Amino acid sequence: MPASTTAPAATPSARRRPLAWTLKDLVLLVVLGVVFGFLYWALVQAWTGAAILFGDLTQHVLLGGWLLAAPVAIAIIRRPLAGLLAEVLAAVIEVIFLGSPVGPTLLLAAALQGLGSELPFALTRYRRYGWLVYAFSGLLGAALVFFYSAFRSGWYGTDLLTIRLIVQLISGVLIGGLLAKVIVDALARTGVVDNFAIGRDLSRAR
């Protein structure tokens, strides 16, 4: 009887779904949450200072800064919910450990930011990481959290509602989207993320 030409059955590790989380992914997610938690706490101070020095409207230019954790985490880890979890973890650090004056309501805002920022990547099945996807990430993250912030802050019915929305959307695209890509590309060039999904994908593309 001739030898079988059937390929051997895949091992459990080979059958592992490409989007499955690993321990190092989770560790990196926590690290990113801590790093961005400190950054977000600093942004709160800048937000308050901008309002005092230059007026209420100027602070909205900074909104995109609170959207950075999600696209950075997604681009490096490339796993479902990475963006949402990174934003919520950063908010937990900001509120519980750093005593952010915003308080626990920030956790809901973070979840909305993470959800909006992650959606464009999810729609590509976490396979596209071009400038346009990052731009839409920042745009949707800013849009989704704006309507919650407007309700919580009493902006509805005010003359500056539309201007606030426009400023926050622009900030979301430029800072929360395009700047995030610049950060991710810079990290990729250093090689520090080679052992994560982004490194493997970049190696295949070369």
CB burial of residue 103 (10 Å; 0-12, 13-18, 19+) = exposed
Q: Which residue type does 146 have?
A: F
Q: Where are the beta strands (DSSP E) in the chain?
A: none
Distance CA 47, CA 154 (A): 17
pLDDT tens digits in sequence order for the chain, 206 residues long: 444 444 444 444 334 445 689 999 999 999 999 999 999 888 888 878 877 777 777 788 999 999 999 999 999 999 999 999 999 999 999 888 777 666 678 899 999 999 999 999 999 999 999 999 999 999 999 999 999 989 888 888 888 899 999 999 999 999 999 999 999 999 999 999 999 999 888 877 76
Domain ranges in the chain? 22-190
Instruction: Return the ∠ at Cα 125 (arms to 197 and 188), rounded to 5°.
Output: 30
H or E stretch covering 175: none
Rounded to whole angstroms, what are the CA distances from 75 to 89, 196, 205?
17, 10, 15
Angle between the 69-77 and 82-92 helix axes, to the nearest 10 degrees? 130
Tell me, what's the pLDDT at 184? 97
Which residues, 6 or more positions from 71, have their beta carbon under 8 angstroms from its beta carbon?
83, 117, 121, 134, 137, 138, 176, 177, 180, 181, 184
What's the rounded Cα separation, in Å, for the pair 83 and 102?
A: 21
The answer to whether 69 and 92 have CB atoms below 8 angstroms apart is no
- Residue 90's nearest CA partner among 163, 41, 133 is 41
